[in-house]
Amino acid sequence: MSDHYVHGYSPVEATRLSRQANILSEFIHSNAVFAPGDRIVEVGCGVGSQTVQLAARNPSAQIVGIDRSADSLEQARALVAGHGLNNVQFQQCDASVLPFEDGAFDGAFVCFVLEHLADPEGALRELRRVLKPGAKLHVFEGDHGATIAWPDDPDIHRLVRAATQYQATQGGNAEIGRALTPLLRAGGFHSIQVEPCVAYADLERPQWVEQFTRHTFIDMMKSLRERLAGSGLLDERASELGVAALERAALEGTFSYTFYRAIAFRW
Amino acid sequence: MSDHYVHGYSPVEATRLSRQANILSEFIHSNAVFAPGDRIVEVGCGVGSQTVQLAARNPSAQIVGIDRSADSLEQARALVAGHGLNNVQFQQCDASVLPFEDGAFDGAFVCFVLEHLADPEGALRELRRVLKPGAKLHVFEGDHGATIAWPDDPDIHRLVRAATQYQATQGGNAEIGRALTPLLRAGGFHSIQVEPCVAYADLERPQWVEQFTRHTFIDMMKSLRERLAGSGLLDERASELGVAALERAALEGTFSYTFYRAIAFRW
């Protein structure tokens, strides 16, 4: 369980995360607006793909990005510096034990993180502790269960199911999007507003085909091939068939994937 | 194949259709705006659930609703009269052979219809024939493949899969939403803009739980129980288990279903 982040820490994955952040930025950031002077914690900031957008869109807020991986934080620091942003600090720690006092933050931002945690409810409770009463929380997570392709193909279902199972063996949940409301309630938040956001690509949306279907979703599936084979969930040949079917949907058809965006407030 | 409409023609179904039209009206009608004086054909208007909204939102347009069922058109006439609308006419005919001359209409509206047709591409070509060059077409269809519940349950997947298979035995396609772009291209339309619309219900959206999860989706599944059993696809006990699992998601969890909305233009 030393590697909770199922997609790994390679330079290729960092590039994929950056592309994902760009094509999905309106979904993720359009309503992630905080007040000037607010202190915002970003849990699981990783290599900083979302941090740079959060910081640029909230220039008068102070962002504190936390992550378990020192290497990722190193990359995040370089990315933030490269963007000329000076309202971000980073701290290495685990989401389950935050090194901050109670009520230290005015808001929080959590993107593609809960899906990787063995105890997302516990992490939300710990996050709640370091938030002021009334603080606003933004969450953005995917759900593999709403992966829809045309032409449809059993090979796609096999691959996505194996990816979901693999994430479960790592303690995560690739179908967490649908569970945000009950999770946030259990974690001590109220006035929860969840909104599904569908990333949809077809022949009339070439940018989404390239940036989302190909370089976000298919690249993610490709990055899992060895791990799926190594764990006995799906052999490499079956993974390749799934990827080939996804490539056909990208080339001549349509592809949809649903994310869930939530805003909630600390009691 | 005498009964293409898999949900039947009962008064209960007419009530379900009316509720469905109300809760989904913003998705379906918010951008179905036509020019004053336009002549609009609504293919497969059924009992008029969408017709009354289309006519009320486009009071200076002339709507011609067509349907194969004389009984449904009788109900549609009564509904339109009850709403005090005087810009609607009806005509009984099949979508595959429209009794209109070439270029008779300035626009078209098609909602929950292509999913029931054995040859949706042929119907689109015939519709194209009766449209003027440049005419605007609105299409709205569902896709059972993006049915997402929490708590998830294999009984839900079994029920939805059986419903999809049953619709296929009737010549239809309950997963047609994802195919709109290729279908519309093949049917002779261009500048196709498809947008997924997710009907999402959770504890913080009680109106969606009642009007959509319960009285649109679950009621639709209930209406299919006898047919699923009669066709050997799913016995009544299994259908009941699926419905019970959906009721649990309505009561304590979340439910998502994706529709696809398209605007396209006639070459």
Chain A residues in contact with B203 (beta carbon < 8 A): 181-182, 185
Asked whether residue B1 carries a pLDDT value surpassing 50, the answer given is no
B86 compared with B14, residue with greater pLDDT: B86
User: Hey, what are A226's tokens?
Assistant: 């060895």
Whole-model pTM: value is 0.94
Asked whether residue A8 carries a pLDDT value surpassing 90, the answer given is no
Instruction: Write down the pLDDT at residue A2.
Output: 42
Instruction: Write down the pLDDT at residue B2.
Output: 42
Chain B residues in contact with A193 (beta carbon < 8 A): 204
Between CA B259 and CA A58 the distance in angstroms is 34
Between CA B157 and CA B17 the distance in angstroms is 23
Q: Convert the pLDDT of each residue in A107-117 to its tens digit.
A: 999 999 999 99
Handedness of CA B198, B199, B202, B207 (dihedral sign): positive
Instruction: Write down the pLDDT at residue B10.
Output: 87
CB B174 within 8 A of CB B144: yes
CB A133 within 8 A of CB A266: yes
Between CA B188 and CA B3 the distance in angstroms is 28
* Inter-chain CB proximity A203 and B181 less than 8 Å: yes
Q: Is the peptide bond preceding residue A151 cis, with omega within 30 degrees of 0?
A: yes
Q: Is the ipTM of this complex over 0.90?
A: yes
CA distances from B106 to A246, B61, B62, B97 (A): 38, 10, 10, 18
| Pairing status of strand B105-111 against strand A254-266 | unpaired
pLDDT band at residue A20 under the 50/70/90 scheme = confident
Q: Convert the pLDDT of each residue in A227-250 to its tens digit.
A: 999 999 999 999 999 999 999 999
Helix (H, G, I), strand (E, B) or coil at A260: strand
Low-confidence winner among A15-29, A179-193, B66-80 (lowest mean pLDDT): A15-29
Q: Which of A179, A185, A196 sits opposite B200 (nearest CB)?
A: A196
User: Mean pLDDT in chain B?
Assistant: 95
Question: Counting one residue from A and one from B, how many pairs have CB atoms under 8 Å apart?
Answer: 92
Between CA B178 and CA A147 the distance in angstroms is 11
Helix (H, G, I), strand (E, B) or coil at A71: helix
Between CA B267 and CA B262 the distance in angstroms is 16
| Residue A64 one-letter amino acid | V
Asked whether residue B54 carries a pLDDT value surpassing 80, the answer given is yes
B-side interface with A, Cβ within 8 Å? 143, 145-146, 148-150, 152, 175, 178-182, 185, 191-196, 198, 200, 202-204, 252-254, 256, 258
- Per-residue HEC secondary structure of B166-212 comes to HHHHCCCCCCCHHHHHHHHHHCCEEEEEEEEEEEEECCCCHHHHHHH
Between CA B111 and CA A152 the distance in angstroms is 23
pLDDT band at residue A11 under the 50/70/90 scheme = confident
CB A51 within 8 A of CB A81: no
Between CA A246 and CA A217 the distance in angstroms is 9
CB A15 within 8 A of CB A23: no
Asked whether residue B20 carries a pLDDT value surpassing 90, the answer given is no
Between CA B242 and CA B217 the distance in angstroms is 12
Quote the crossing angle between the two packed helices A154-169 and A219-230, to the nearest 10°. Answer: 70
Between CA A169 and CA A70 the distance in angstroms is 24
**B255, exposed or middle or buried, with CB in 10 Å at 0-12, 13-18, 19+?**
buried
- The residues pairing with A241 across neighbouring beta strands, listed in sequence order, are none
Chain B residues in contact with A202 (beta carbon < 8 A): 181-182, 192, 194
Handedness of CA B164, B168, B174, B180 (dihedral sign): positive
Q: How far is it between the farthest Cα atoms of chain B?
A: 53
Low-confidence winner among A168-172, A255-259, B17-21, B160-164 (lowest mean pLDDT): B17-21
Chain A residues in contact with B248 (beta carbon < 8 A): none
**B84, exposed or middle or buried, with CB in 10 Å at 0-12, 13-18, 19+?**
exposed
* Inter-chain CB proximity A204 and B198 less than 8 Å: no
CA dihedral A125→A127→A133→A137, nearest 10 degrees, is -110
Handedness of CA A69, A71, A77, A83 (dihedral sign): negative
pLDDT band at residue B86 under the 50/70/90 scheme = very high
Beta strands in A60-154 (DSSP E): 62-67, 88-92, 105-111, 131-150
User: Mean pLDDT in chain A?
Assistant: 96
CB B238 within 8 A of CB B174: no
Distance to chain A for B110, nearest Cα, Å: 20
Q: Which of A146, A182, A196 sits opposite B253 (nearest CB)?
A: A182
Asked whether residue B89 carries a pLDDT value surpassing 80, the answer given is yes
User: Hey, what are A199's tokens?
Assistant: 């990333």
Q: Is the peptide bond preceding residue B206 cis, with omega within 30 degrees of 0?
A: no
Distance to chain A for B80, nearest Cα, Å: 34
Instruction: Write down the pLDDT at residue A212.
Output: 96
pLDDT band at residue A1 under the 50/70/90 scheme = very low
How large is the average pLDDT for residues B2-18? 79
Asked whether residue A4 carries a pLDDT value surpassing 70, the answer given is no
Q: Convert the pLDDT of each residue in A138-161 to its tens digit.
A: 999 999 999 999 999 999 999 999
* Inter-chain CB proximity A258 and B146 less than 8 Å: yes
Between CA A4 and CA A69 the distance in angstroms is 10
Between CA B147 and CA B171 the distance in angstroms is 21
